Structure 1
Amino acid sequence: MTLSVRPPAVAGMFYPARAPEIVAEADRLLEAAERRLADMPDRPHPKALIVPHAGWMWSGDLAALGWQTLAPRAGGIGRVVLLGPTHRVAIRGAALPGVDLFATPAGALRIPADEVLEATTPLARPVGVDPLTHAEEHALEVQVPFIQRVLGDVDLVPLNVGLARPDEVADIIDALWDGSGTVVAVSSDLSHYHTSERAREVDRATIRQIVDLDGPIPADRACGASPLNGLLTCCARRGLRPRLLGAHNSGDVAGDHDRVVGYAALTVEETRS
Structure 2
Amino acid sequence: MVLKRQASHAGSFYPLNKDDLIKSIENSYLHKLGPGNLPKINERKKESIGYIVPHAGYMYSGPIAAHSYFNIANEGKPKVFVIVGPNHTGLGENASVWKEGIWQTPLGDVEIDNEVSRLIVSYSKYFTFDEEAHLYEHSVEVQIPFLQQLFNDIKIVPIVIKLQNEEVSLDLANALYKLIVDNGVDLVNIASSDMNHYEPYDITYKKDEMALKKIEELDVNGLFKVLDENNITMCGPGPVGALLYLGKKMNSRVQILKHATSGDITGEKDWVVGYAAARVVKA
TM-score, normalised via structure 2 length: 0.85
User: Which secondary structure state, in structure 1, belongs to the residue aligned with residue 143 of structure 2?
Assistant: helix
2-structure distance, mates of 1:68, 1:200: 24
- How far 1:91 sits from its partner (Å)? 5.1
Question: Match for residue 112 of structure 2?
Answer: 111
Greater CA deviation, 135-144 or 209-218? Answer: 209-218
- How far 1:151 sits from its partner (Å)? 2.7
1-structure distance, mates of 2:37, 2:26: 14
- 2:179–2:185 Cα contact (<8 Å) kept: no
Compared CA separation, residues 94 and 209, structure 1 to 2 (3 A): same
1-structure distance, mates of 2:75, 2:51: 14
Compared CA separation, residues 197 and 26, structure 1 to 2 (3 A): same
Stretches of structure 1 lacking an aligned partner (at least 5 in a row): 39-44
1-structure distance, mates of 2:264, 2:35: 21
Any residues of structure 2 matched to 1:1-273 within 5 Å, and which? 2-31=1-30, 33-35=34-36, 45-74=47-76, 76-90=77-91, 92-125=93-126, 127-163=127-163, 164=165, 165=167, 166-177=169-180, 179=184, 181-216=186-221, 217-218=223-224, 220-271=232-283
Over 6 Å off, 4+ runs: none
Compared CA separation, residues 123 and 46, structure 1 to 2 (3 A): closer
Question: Match for residue 41 of structure 1?
Answer: none
1-structure distance, mates of 2:172, 2:16: 33
- 1:120–1:175 Cα contact (<8 Å) kept: no
1-structure distance, mates of 2:158, 2:60: 23
- 2:98–2:157 Cα contact (<8 Å) kept: no
User: Which secondary structure state, in structure 2, belongs to the residue aligned with residue 35 of structure 1?
Assistant: coil
User: Which secondary structure state, in structure 2, belongs to the residue aligned with residue 87 of structure 1?
Assistant: coil
- How far 1:34 sits from its partner (Å)? 4.9
How many residues get paired?
263
- 2:97–2:160 Cα contact (<8 Å) kept: yes
- 1:117–1:128 Cα contact (<8 Å) kept: no
- How far 1:84 sits from its partner (Å)? 0.5
TM-score, normalised via structure 1 length: 0.88
Question: Match for residue 43 of structure 2?
Answer: none
User: Which secondary structure state, in structure 2, belongs to the residue aligned with residue 69 of structure 1?
Assistant: helix
> Amino acid of the residue matched to residue 49 of structure 2?
K
1-structure distance, mates of 2:116, 2:277: 29
**Identity over the aligned pairs, expressed in percent?**
28
Stretches of structure 2 lacking an aligned partner (at least 5 in a row): 40-46
Give CA deviations for 1:100-133 in whole Å, capped at 9, x if unaligned.
Answer: 00111111210022442235314333x3122111
- How far 1:253 sits from its partner (Å)? 1.5
Give CA deviations for 1:139-193 in whole Å, capped at 9, x if unaligned.
Answer: 0111101111123211100101121523212123223445573111100000011
Give CA deviations for 1:174-222 in whole Å, capped at 9, x if unaligned.
Answer: 2344557311110000001111010111011111110011223236442
